[in-house]
Amino acid sequence: MARPSATALAGETLTLAHTPSREAVAVTRPPSSGTQALLRGWSDAALAAEVARAIPPRSVVNLGIGLPTQVAQYLDPAASIMIHSENGLLGVEGRPTEATLSPTRINAGKESVDVRPGAAYFDSALSFAMIRGGHVNLAILGGMQVDVQGSLANWSVPGRKLTGMGGAMDLVTGARAVWVMMRHADRSGASKLLERCTLPLTGAGVVARIITELGWFRPTGTHFEVISLAPGVTLSDVGDPALFRTDRVFENASRATQRADEP
Amino acid sequence: MARPSATALAGETLTLAHTPSREAVAVTRPPSSGTQALLRGWSDAALAAEVARAIPPRSVVNLGIGLPTQVAQYLDPAASIMIHSENGLLGVEGRPTEATLSPTRINAGKESVDVRPGAAYFDSALSFAMIRGGHVNLAILGGMQVDVQGSLANWSVPGRKLTGMGGAMDLVTGARAVWVMMRHADRSGASKLLERCTLPLTGAGVVARIITELGWFRPTGTHFEVISLAPGVTLSDVGDPALFRTDRVFENASRATQRADEP
Amino acid sequence: MAVEHEAAEAPGGSRGQPVEGHGAPSGSGPFLKVFEGAAQALADLHSGAVVMSGGFGLCGIPECSIAELLRRGVRDLTLISNNIGNRGKGLAQLLKSGQVRHAICSYVGGNPDLEAQFFAGELTLELVPQGTFAERIRAGGAGIRAFYTPTGVGTVAAEGKEVRAFDRPCLLETGLRADFALVKAQRGDAYGNLWFKESARNFSPLMATAATVTIAEVEELVPLGALPAEDIHCPGIFVQRIYQGSHYENAIEYPILRSP
Amino acid sequence: MAVEHEAAEAPGGSRGQPVEGHGAPSGSGPFLKVFEGAAQALADLHSGAVVMSGGFGLCGIPECSIAELLRRGVRDLTLISNNIGNRGKGLAQLLKSGQVRHAICSYVGGNPDLEAQFFAGELTLELVPQGTFAERIRAGGAGIRAFYTPTGVGTVAAEGKEVRAFDRPCLLETGLRADFALVKAQRGDAYGNLWFKESARNFSPLMATAATVTIAEVEELVPLGALPAEDIHCPGIFVQRIYQGSHYENAIEYPILRSP
């Protein structure tokens, strides 16, 4: 996109702007139990800060409910990042005080928020026109499962709980880049990064990046590329070596996934 | 439509609200040349006033360029009729003074206008959502030709002039009722009310009423019902007796046209 | 034929025919749209009606109209609303009282009543991706019969739907309409022009366009001309009845404050 | 796949690919969107580009951007605009100078230059019903690939188009996009938020959503926060560049005054 800025926005030249430190990737692979791995890596706060640092300046970003919402408080104000909330608000910034709390000023998680100068309110049709039309540079969503194809399941556990997809299907379809931010394993200790999602999909082949407390990952079509690991985490902590690799040769990557790799 | 008002809006119960005086229809049919007829009937001002009187109170009305625009100045303010202008304005009322003239306050004919309290401005997508969605009760349009099927041609004379359909096709499709307001004959003296339009259509089977300087007419599918005639005009003035009738039995009327006849 | 034409049909919804003397109460003011309160404005909202309700969670919900539905006890309602209430409030009250037969919505997390009734088979449910939900309502109000969207391809949202390839595969989705739309705005005038505060706008201006009868409640009924003509969020052409409500709770699900 | 996806293609239009260091000038301010003037903002608008231009007749046209196109002499333009100027003004100037190859528009009465060039075969023309024109642009900007509308059935506007029956027959119409959108607003801020005066809004907010690069000119560039957040007609997310124009003529075709 012919934008005036020399610096890319998220979703345009992702790999330039997203610069987690590669030197953190361990070269040795000491044995480690899965349970141990759950205790390693970034705290929630550190994870949110890590994600915040990775967002290119001047991006429009939609933050999902839960972990992703915490990213907002770690954004550098100088980066001029605009937070889009699909309930009809662009320019979320921080929390209100007792004095400025307004029941009509909420984010998509139905939490009170404040807005920055330059914010705008609009109706839901325009809000999703922004999303579906490719105007939101980046969506950072929570996840239940992500697979090597970049497919995401984050809305339904059949028979167990009824929630609804909300805006997630629109976001994974329309945002110019989708990052999934989640814990590496579920409560039972099972990895949420899988060869193939078993839960109902939110979208197929939509995820560009995954960040967990253990590190940054990229679905390639055949496996997860380990882009970087959190301090103290080793490659063996993240899971099956057949599924997690550090190489950047992707024989069977889909066209879409290959494009995510292009600088 | 379950509206609170006991009085119908245009397009809802047209025949109740539209009450031109029937006694004006002549019972005798003296011979009269077509040329003579052109000189008879309502003046432009009287025609506009006649149409203005026929519009049900509280209707939302779109007035086409030319003759229909003149209707605005004869509306009874107590009737609370809202004039819609498809360039993005609802609530046109009158003309500005030298002091209130604004180049950004125009109607679809690109003429300066004033607005009444309660007026609203909006973009073109919403303006045509109003039209296409059936929210405009009545469109009063100019015409080049109308036929017994209620088809209208008012936008193109192939090879002679290039204009474009503008909003006319949307209006005839979406407005809940369409009236055509035009001179009875063209400059060469040929009737503009025909058995079959020869010019490119604006819409097929869309016209509920036609008013010319000679009277009110309704396309029935097989002929034009003469609803009423202007003072001094006789039935023979309006055209071929096979095409213009006063009876209300319509053997071959299309379903759509029949519905226009239902009270 | 333009004299009467039906707009896109909602699943289970219908565009009403003109009805004369059908018992609807008359409003007052030059446009006969202003009603005394919810009881008068909703008098003809009948059991079995298809009802749209604005609001995102509890933000911007038509509190007084919902209370009136509860009071009148109309049953077998089809509700079209993003969340069908939240945490037992808003439309969730109509779930508890067993007044809802079918719901079309997008997100129902935090709505245990709905969850329980759904799993008990007491109501049926259509879950729609939120952007498609908004767009279907806009289409219903704008006379767009159907549209192609890429959202939901390859998911359960695509089940039973036509898929067609443009630059990418898309689903065919149809316009959605209702018998009644219930919306709440901060300010409104006698013509039904509405202005919404902050993010309370959400689905309300869309729903207003997509119902046979749109009933707006406002915190402040202001004189004609008091709302700046450029800044009206929902022009009164879409609103058939308006009343000034009272005793607004304006609940907020998660009132999180700044860390000191 | 969300990393890069193309939106609906315009006839002859394209959604540009990300281009690094491709010569576009940088803006200033926190969002790098504010440009000094038309020359800087339009520096990369090239011959052969697909260009949308707001305005209804002469009302709300981007006067300064049009003047810059004229000055630069870029050629073979595809113009998407309701009227392509009027009475020799606005975009009609680009007709006279022979810079237009194709036009997509709705109404061209009062545009003798267009008429003459069309009949002389000097440019090609696509006439679109005005509501369909607006909706196609909105769809292009909103990621809706195509939609079904009843407008134009049974007319020349239906030629070559798929007809499908819903409650009534409808035409399939596709989204429309452009390389550049040129719009003019009364007020705007450094993020590109826009506010339009009276009926000057018309197609501009829609076009802003449907172009790879939207360039807004404003009469008043105001500080961030000066526009009330509820009353922004075009949020800045849709605007890539903004500059304050000058010397606006704001012509009006028919300045009819009240009879004394």
Residue B263 within any structural domain of the chain: no
Q: Inter-chain contact D145–C149, Cβ cutoff 8 Å?
A: yes
Out of A86, A93, A213, A225, the active site residue is A86
Residue C198 near chain B (CB below 8 Å): no
Q: Is the pLDDT of residue A237 over 50?
A: yes
Any domain includes A142 = yes
Within a domain: A44:
yes
Query: Are B100 and B62 spatial neighbours (Cβ–Cβ below 8 Å)?
Result: no
- Tell me how many domains chain A contains: 1
- Residue A11, pLDDT > 50, answer yes
Which pLDDT score is estimated for B237? Answer: 93
Is D3–A208 a contact, with Cβ atoms under 8 angstroms apart?
A: yes
**Residue A261 in contact with residue A248, Cβ under 8 Å?**
yes
| Residue range B45-87, pLDDT digits in tens | 999 999 999 999 999 999 999 899 999 999 999 999 999 999 9
Find the domain containing D90 and state its range.
44-147+173-244
> Nearest residue of D to residue B173 by CA position?
D151
Average pLDDT over residues A153-160: 89
Instruction: Check residue C109 and give its pLDDT.
Output: 87
Q: Are D34 and D154 in contact (CB under 8 A)?
A: no
Task: Name the pLDDT band for A76 (thresholds 50, 70, 90).
Answer: very high
Give the contacts of B112 (CB within 8 A, at least 6 positions apart). Answer: B95, B96, B101, B102, B103, B105, B106, D252, D254, D255, D256, D257
Q: How far is D71 from chain C (nearest CA, A)?
A: 34
The Cα diameter of chain D in Å comes to 64
DSSP, collapsed to helix, strand or coil, labels residue A244 as strand
CB of D32 within 8 Å of a chain C CB? The answer is no
Percent of chain B, pLDDT > 90?
A: 75
Given CB atoms, is D21 within the 8 Å cutoff of chain A? yes
Residue D147 touches chain C, beta carbons under 8 Å = yes
Parent domain of A191: 6-248
- What pLDDT is attached to residue D110? 83
Question: Please, which pLDDT band fits residue A39 given cuts at 50, 70 and 90?
Answer: low
Q: Which of D110, D149, D252 sits opposite B106 (nearest CB)?
A: D252
Interface size between A and C, measured as CB pairs under 8 A: 178
Contacts of A106 in chain C (CB under 8 A): 56-57, 59, 199, 252-254
User: At a CB cut-off of 8 Å and minimum separation 6, what does D116 contact?
Assistant: none
Q: Where are the beta strands (DSSP E) in B73-176?
A: 82-85, 89-92, 115-121, 138-141, 145-147, 152-153
Residue A262: what pLDDT? 34
Residues A180-197, mean pLDDT to the nearest whole number: 96
Number of domains observed in the structure of chain C: 1
Work out the mean pLDDT of chain A and round it to a whole number.
Answer: 84
D139 CB-side CA count, 13 A: 30
How far, in Å, CA of C92 to CA of D120, rounded? 66
Q: Are B151 and B201 in contact (CB under 8 A)?
A: yes
- Of D21, D48, D52, nearest in space to D213 by CA: D52
D198: nearest CB among B102, B169, B174: B102
Q: Is residue C88 part of a domain?
A: yes
Whether residue B1 is contained in a domain is answered as no
Place D18 in a pLDDT band, splitting at 50, 70 and 90.
very low
The vertex-C161 CA angle with C156 and C164, nearest 5°, equals 110
Q: How far is CA D255 from CA B98, B109, C240, D251, in A?
A: 9, 11, 34, 9
Q: D170 by DSSP, 3-state: which? A: strand
Cα–Cα distances in angstroms (integers) from residue A6 to residues A2, D4, D31, D208, D209, in the given order: 10, 19, 12, 21, 22
Instruction: Say if B259 falls within a structural domain.
Output: no
Residue with tokens 């926190």: D30
pLDDT for A12: 54
Asked if residue A263 is part of any domain, the answer here is no
Beta strands in A22-86 (DSSP E): 60-63, 82-85
Q: Where are the alpha helices (DSSP H) in D120-236?
A: 130-142, 204-209
Min Cα separation B66/chain D (Å): 13
The angle that helices B124-132 and C130-142 make with each other, rounded to 10 degrees, is 60
- With CA atoms as reference, report the closest residue to B175 among B55, B10, B24: B10
Q: Which residue of C has its CA nearest to D201?
A: C230
Residue B29's pLDDT is what?
34
Q: How many other CB atoms sit within 10 Å of the CB of residue A161?
A: 10
ipTM of the complex: 0.90
On whether residue B15 sits in a domain, the answer given is: yes
Res. D10: pLDDT tops 60: no
Q: Which of D 95-134 lie inside 8 A of B, CB atoms?
A: 105-110, 114-115, 118-119, 125, 127, 129-134
- State the smallest CA–CA distance between residue D9 and chain A in angstroms: 12
User: What pLDDT sits at residue C4?
Assistant: 29
Residues D110-139: what's their mean pLDDT?
94
**CATH assignment at residue D74:** 3.40.1080.10
Between chains, do B117 and C25 touch, taking CB under 8 Å as contact? no
pLDDT in tens, B213-259: 999 999 999 999 999 999 999 999 999 999 999 865 433 333 333 33
What's the CATH number where A206 sits? 3.40.1080.10
Which residues, including other chains, have CB under 8 Å from residue B240's CB and lie 6 or more apart?
B191
pLDDT, residue C54, reads 98
Q: Is B150 in contact with D95 (CB distance < 8 Å)?
A: no
* DSSP reduced 3-state for C27: coil
pLDDT of A19: 38
Q: Give the one of C144, C195, C196 whose C-beta lies nearest to D149's C-beta.
A: C144
Asked whether the beta carbons of residue B204 and residue D108 sit closer than 8 angstroms, the reply is no
Please state, for a pLDDT cut of 90, what percent of chain D lies above it: 85
* Residue of B160 and D210 predicted with greater confidence: D210
Q: Is C249 a domain residue?
A: no
Query: What is the rounded distance in angstroms from the CA atom of residue A77 to the CA atom of residue B70?
Result: 57
| C16 contact residues in B (CB cutoff 8 A) | 1-2
What CA–CA distance (Å, rounded) separates A65 from A163? 13
Q: Where are the beta strands (DSSP E) in chain A?
A: 60-63, 82-85, 89-92, 115-121, 138-141, 145-147, 152-153, 178-181, 193-194, 209-212, 215-219, 224-229, 244-245
Residue D257 contacts B where some CB pair is shorter than 8 Å: yes
Task: From residue A102, give the alpha-carbon distance in Å to each of A97, A98, C257, D148, D152.
Answer: 10, 9, 11, 40, 47
pLDDT at position B10: 67
Count CA atoms closer than 13 A to B213's CA, side-chain side. 18
CB-CB contact of D211 with D177 (8 Å): yes
pLDDT at D2: 29
Instruction: Return the closest-CA partner of residue C24 out of A1, D149, B4.
Output: B4
Give the model's pLDDT for residue C224: 97
Q: Determine, yes or no, domain membership for C155.
A: no
Low-confidence ranges of chain C (pLDDT < 50): 1-25
Chosen from C52, C202, C209 to mutate, greatest number of chain A CBs within 10 A: C202
The partner residue sitting opposite A129, judged by closest CB among D190, D209, D212, is D209
Known active-site residue B93: no
For the entire predicted model, the pTM comes to: 0.89
DSSP state of C56: B
Question: How far from the centroid of its chain's Cα atoms is residue B164's Cα?
Answer: 20
Pick the more confident residue, A176 or C10: A176
Q: What is the rounded average pLDDT of the residues D194-218?
A: 98
Q: Which residue carries 């005036």 as its tokens?
A: A4
Cα end-to-end distance, chain B, whole Å = 14
Contact partners for chain C, using 3 or more CB pairs closer than 8 A, are: A, B, D
Predicted pLDDT of residue B255 = 32
C-chain residues within 8 Å CB-CB of D198? 229-230
CA D54/CA C45 separation, integer angstroms: 43
- The closest of A128, A197, A127, A123 to A158, measured between CA atoms, is A197
Quick check: C228 and D233 CB within 8 A? no
Side chain identity at A143, as an amino acid letter? G
Work out the average pLDDT over D52-75.
98
pLDDT of residue D19: 32
Residue A19 lies in a domain: yes
> What is residue C189's DSSP assignment?
-
Task: Report the alpha-carbon distance of residue D205 to residue D2 in Å, rounded.
Answer: 25
Q: Which of A142, A186, A149 is nearest to A167 (CA)?
A: A142
Cβ atoms of B120 and D123 within 8 Å: the answer is: no
Nearest to D4 among A3, A133, A259 (CB): A259
Residue A20: pLDDT above 60?
no
